[in-house]
Amino acid sequence: MISECESPQRLKYGKLIPKPTAHFWYGDSEHKGIAVFSYSSYKIEPLPVFNPKFRYIVPLLISNENEQFHLFAIWAMDDKKDRKSSYIGQVWKALEYYQKLLSESCILVGDFNSNQIWDKQSRVGNHTDVVNKLAENGIKSLYHDKYKEVHGQESEATFYLHRNKNKPYHMDYCFVSETLLKNGHKFSVGSFEKWIPFSDHSPLFIDLL
């Protein structure tokens, strides 16, 4: 899942980046949107319940011959018309709208642009509210499950402001339903040194066993 991704028509594939077997892209401009790529037997389908009001919180059906689950591709954005619904506030309102989907097996992954350290900012729902709502539906953060750290006190960053190693923040997450974690998982964050030439965000690597 990639945020701030160009439309597939603008992407170039080659030896280092082969064409995916399936992909989904949504955006307001061909220069920047949200994308999901599959390099396996999994197919990607947008769910009919998608509400463009939450334009970069997109519910998808991921499926192959053996299983299926819902994937929420997330790139939390600013809302200039309603500041209280910006960033994590936008995620909160989307989760309320898609509440029924949370009771099924799902993964929520992407750039939430949020951390518990900013809970005091005025929002319709803050970071802690989102974490608690997901927990009530049996959905947990894989980073915090692996490292046994609490929200707001993460030791590893996923974002570096102005690509400055001295300005680290943890703002990207992968939340997964416990029904998909019966055999455990592997989780890691890409290193600053390897990935900063390409992005101010570090990638998350998730392997559901």
pLDDT tens per residue, range 177-205: 999 999 999 999 999 999 999 999 999 99
Residue for token pair 């200039």: 80
Q: What class has domain 44-208?
A: alpha beta
Helix (H, G, I), strand (E, B) or coil at 167: coil
Mean pLDDT of 8-29: 91
Mean pLDDT of 121-136: 92
Q: How far is CA 159 from the centre of its chain?
A: 13
Q: How far is CA 40 from the centre of its chain?
A: 20
Residue 166: predicted pLDDT: 97
Residue 83: predicted pLDDT: 67
Q: What is the pTM of this model?
A: 0.94
149 falls in which pLDDT band (50, 70, 90)? very high
Query: CB–CB of 90/54 below 8 Å?
Result: yes
143 φ, ψ to 5°? -60, -50
Looking at the chain, the whole-number percentage of residues with pLDDT higher than 70 is: 98
Token couple for 6: 């160009």
Residue 122: predicted pLDDT: 82
Q: Which of 51, 7, 2 lies closest to 29, judged by CA?
A: 7
Residue 81: predicted pLDDT: 72
Report the mean per-residue pLDDT for the chain.
94
